[in-house]
Amino acid sequence: MTLISENYHRYFPLSAEAGRWGLEMTSCGMARTAAGVNYPPEKHPADHHFDWKRGRVLDALQIVLITEGRGWLETRETGRTRVDAGMAFLLLPGVWHRYRPDPRTGWLEAWIELRGAVVDRLLDGRIFSAKDILRRGAIEAGLEEVLERVRRRVKKGPAGFQPELAAAGLQALAICAQMATERSGPSRIQRAVGEAERYLSEHHAEPVNMEALARRLGVAYSHFRRAFRAQTGSAPWKYVVHLRLTRARRLLASSDAKLDDVAARVGFSSGFHLSAAFKQAYGQSPQFWRRSLERGADSGG
């Protein structure tokens, strides 16, 4: 399941029922910021709005996923860090922070905000640390799928507390906890894999020679391939195919572009090759998948 690009945001009132669950989602949304556009948007409550100069402190925990573009995140604990497509970061309650897209690229971000006894216990137990808030490979880990379920539920569900959203929030927290890795002193091969992830996220639509990429990063290809799979959960070429298919699904869902045009834009040599990869990954052709979306829209689903 891939995030459908759609600007939206919801802020939910606090609920007495949420206390019995120990977790509630107080905010969620998605926003595309085009290259050269001022950031952040101005359509948020005063306690959530911020500017780059002053930054912001929240009283809840936010998980932010960047699916396109790149930018920067800065906290007092981490300093300024580059954030690339496919990465997520956690904004912990009481921690000053600021973030923004690179004005040359813009970005597409999706987020959820959580609070409650569950969050408090995780923070008290040091499951999450203000010094370790970045998560690489977040899309591969399933975070994008969770946020897409949230989007669909919010668009269809009632305005009040929804247990399904609380459950999705718990799953997102679990994914972020599972992705946590030791940040100090990464090995040479770990650094190479991280650099490869960033490169492939930005250049997946271009021809890619994995052996040449490994040589450029200064590591043997056999070691690179094993480390890449261990670190991301996917072989290097499958990782590229996933990125291409993810972008293809967005284009198919949001435009009337022909299959050959979509293929050219995401890196497949033809519509035939895109269709074959799509069917292998999702069990149906891109044409059928697009028609099913159209039928759902026509029926109000």
Q: What is the CATH number of the domain that holds 234?
A: 1.10.10.60
The Cα–Cα gap between 38 and 103 comes to: 8
263 located within any domain: yes
Asked whether residue 34 falls in the same domain as residue 161, the answer is yes
Asked whether residue 129 falls in the same domain as residue 247, the answer is no
Q: What residues contact residue 268 under an 8 Å CB cut-off, 6+ apart?
A: 244, 248, 274, 277
pLDDT value for 43: 61
81 located within any domain: yes
The Cα–Cα gap between 202 and 243 comes to: 10
- Reported confidence tier of residue 87, pLDDT bands at 50, 70, 90: very high
pLDDT value for 55: 92
3 located within any domain: no
The Cα–Cα gap between 213 and 219 comes to: 9
Tokens of 207: 């021809």
Does the pLDDT at position 225 exceed 60?
Answer: yes
Q: Do 10 and 154 meet the contact criterion of CB atoms below 8 Å apart? A: yes
The Cα–Cα gap between 196 and 189 comes to: 10
- Reported confidence tier of residue 137, pLDDT bands at 50, 70, 90: confident
Tokens of 222: 């056999």
Pick the last residue of a domain from 179, 201, 222: 179
Pick the last residue of a domain from 119, 151, 179: 179
Q: DSSP letter string over 221-251?
A: HHHHHHHHHHHHSS-HHHHHHHHHHHHHHHH
Does the pLDDT at position 266 exceed 60?
Answer: yes
pTM score: 0.60
pLDDT value for 47: 57
Pick the last residue of a domain from 146, 179, 212: 179
pLDDT value for 183: 43
Asked whether residue 14 falls in the same domain as residue 55, the answer is yes
pLDDT value for 241: 96
Asked whether residue 35 falls in the same domain as residue 141, the answer is yes
pLDDT value for 216: 94
Asked whether residue 130 falls in the same domain as residue 247, the answer is no
The Cα–Cα gap between 164 and 150 comes to: 8
Domain that holds residue 290: 188-298
pLDDT value for 179: 83
Q: What is the CATH number of the domain that holds 134?
A: 2.60.120.10
- Reported confidence tier of residue 180, pLDDT bands at 50, 70, 90: confident
1 located within any domain: no
Burial of 299 (0-12, 13-18, 19+ CB in 10 A): exposed
Asked whether residue 156 falls in the same domain as residue 239, the answer is no
- Counted domains in the chain: 2
% of the chain exceeding 70 in pLDDT = 90
Q: Do 107 and 71 meet the contact criterion of CB atoms below 8 Å apart? A: yes
Q: Of 44-58, 158-172, 190-204, 253-267, give the lowest mean pLDDT range.
A: 44-58
- Reported confidence tier of residue 182, pLDDT bands at 50, 70, 90: very low
pLDDT digits (tens, 9 = 90+) for 72-85: 999 999 999 999 99
Asked whether residue 172 falls in the same domain as residue 39, the answer is yes
283 located within any domain: yes
Asked whether residue 67 falls in the same domain as residue 173, the answer is yes
124 located within any domain: yes
2 located within any domain: no
Burial of 239 (0-12, 13-18, 19+ CB in 10 A): buried
Does the pLDDT at position 19 exceed 80?
Answer: no
Asked whether residue 95 falls in the same domain as residue 158, the answer is yes
132 located within any domain: yes
Q: Do 166 and 23 meet the contact criterion of CB atoms below 8 Å apart? A: yes
Average pLDDT over residues 133-139: 90
Does the pLDDT at position 184 exceed 90?
Answer: no
Tell me which H or E stretch contains 101.
strand 97-101
Asked whether residue 135 falls in the same domain as residue 282, the answer is no
Asked whether residue 156 falls in the same domain as residue 214, the answer is no
Mean pLDDT (the chain, rounded) = 88
Asked whether residue 155 falls in the same domain as residue 79, the answer is yes
